[in-house]
Amino acid sequence: MTERGRTSDKVITRAWWILIVTTVMVGGLGLFLMYILGGQIEVGDPIVERFTPTDIFVQPDAEWNTSVLEPGSPETREIRKLTWLVFAITAGIFVVVEGLLIYAIFRYRRRKNDSEAKDPVQLYGSNPVEIAWTIIPIIIVFVLCLATIRTIQTVQPTKNERPENALTVEVIGHRWWWEFRYPELDVVTANEMFIPVDRPIWLEISSADVIHSFWVPELQGKMDAFPGHLNYWKLTAEEEGTYLGQCAEYCGNQHANMLIRVEVLDALDFGSWAKRQAQPADVATGKDVLLGREVFLKYACQNCHAVAGLSNGTYAPDLTHLMSRVTFAGGMIPNNADNLKAWIDDPEQIKPGCDMPALKLSTEEIEQVVAYLVTLK
């Protein structure tokens, strides 16, 4: 080989090293930053500090567990099986391909006494080899495809496959919160879905505005929520407890703050929850509470929010039993008087872009309306 050939070999080798070292450094820096910042982004948000809502933390007192690998329903167990199958096949492919590559790099590297003019033996048009690398990928893709179709058929019901004893919940995505309606129980709630354990739940999923996606990883796969179209999901939670979820389709600037809590109760507890929820809770007494109720009626609150027995708004979350929920603002904030005051004072500061307007209430009016709201249990 000529001098020029040698120089360009060296340049290529150096370029490879630079590429490898840069990749490792950038990747390492990225992981380091993720590690450092990971736990702090939500907590230290300066926008929120201005109003100091207490204990700001997403999804308080629930175990932060949204792993698809820890199924809590027969449906997610099927999904996990498929996940592992796909992982095993692709990991196998990775090991074989990388293994052959590394083997070839070392086995056929240039050695000291190699003649410089000698090229390796060149192979063209080998039928067995070409057939093999055409057929093998087809078989792999076919296996993955069949396994996926089988899983979809198992977990995803069609409209007519509603189980006889199922409880229906209408799930409606809004920017940026979830509405849950129980037509058989005459119950409406927001962001927090209560269901009984060991009973099939029939979800009818839709949207009031843009496309969202309902996803509680431990209980079911993702299901798109479209405006003007119903999608169906069924799931059976096998253990009591709190399950967390998240809108899984980008739907605007507060997409990340469109959280879902699912509370799975035993049949008895669920029965009493549903019974309580179906009753009106508007039983205001006391001066401040009654004044707060007037504030609620006087300003635009009642146009958007329903409180059974008082107002019929459907645009925003139903507040009939507001204080029975642990969070508000799409599951973003712990539900307590201080946070409600900060929210009513200026929602935009907490959740920029949200549809709740700042009604410019006086501090006194805010105190009064919150005094009323906290009675809605």
| Residues in touch with ligand CUA (CB under 6 A) | 173, 176, 212, 247, 249-251, 255, 258
Rounded to the nearest whole angstrom, what is the least distance from the CB of residue 256 to ligand CUA in the complex?
8
Nearer to ligand CUA, 54 or 253 (CB): 253
Query: Phi, psi at residue 192, to the nearest 5°?
Result: -120, 115
Nearer to ligand CUA, 174 or 325 (CB): 174
Compute the distance between CA of residue 308 and CA of residue 278 in angstroms, rounded to an integer. 9
Rounded to the nearest whole angstrom, what is the least distance from the CB of residue 331 to ligand CUA in the complex?
12
Rounded to the nearest whole angstrom, what is the least distance from the CB of residue 216 to ligand CUA in the complex?
14
Nearer to ligand CUA, 140 or 211 (CB): 211
Rounded to the nearest whole angstrom, what is the least distance from the CB of residue 223 to ligand CUA in the complex?
12
Structure tokens belonging to residue 338: 């201080």
C-alpha count within 13 angstroms, C-beta hemisphere, residue 202: 16
CA 122 to chain centre: 52
Rounded to the nearest whole angstrom, what is the least distance from the CB of residue 155 to ligand CUA in the complex?
22
Compute the distance between CA of residue 362 and CA of residue 349 in angstroms, rounded to an integer. 17
Nearer to ligand CUA, 255 or 351 (CB): 255
Rounded to the nearest whole angstrom, what is the least distance from the CB of residue 228 to ligand CUA in the complex?
16
Nearer to ligand CUA, 241 or 252 (CB): 252
Cβ atoms of residues 217 and 67 within 8 Å: yes
- Residue 193 DSSP SS3: strand
Instruction: Outline where the chain has alpha helix (H).
Output: 3-37, 46-49, 74-107, 127-155, 267-278, 287-298, 301-304, 337-345, 347-350, 363-373
Compute the distance between CA of residue 130 and CA of residue 303 in angstroms, rounded to an integer. 69
- Residue 256 DSSP SS3: helix
Nearer to ligand CUA, 215 or 270 (CB): 215
Rounded to the nearest whole angstrom, what is the least distance from the CB of residue 253 to ligand CUA in the complex?
10
Structure tokens belonging to residue 112: 């000291």
CA 125 to chain centre: 50
Structure tokens belonging to residue 192: 């927090």
Nearer to ligand CUA, 231 or 311 (CB): 231
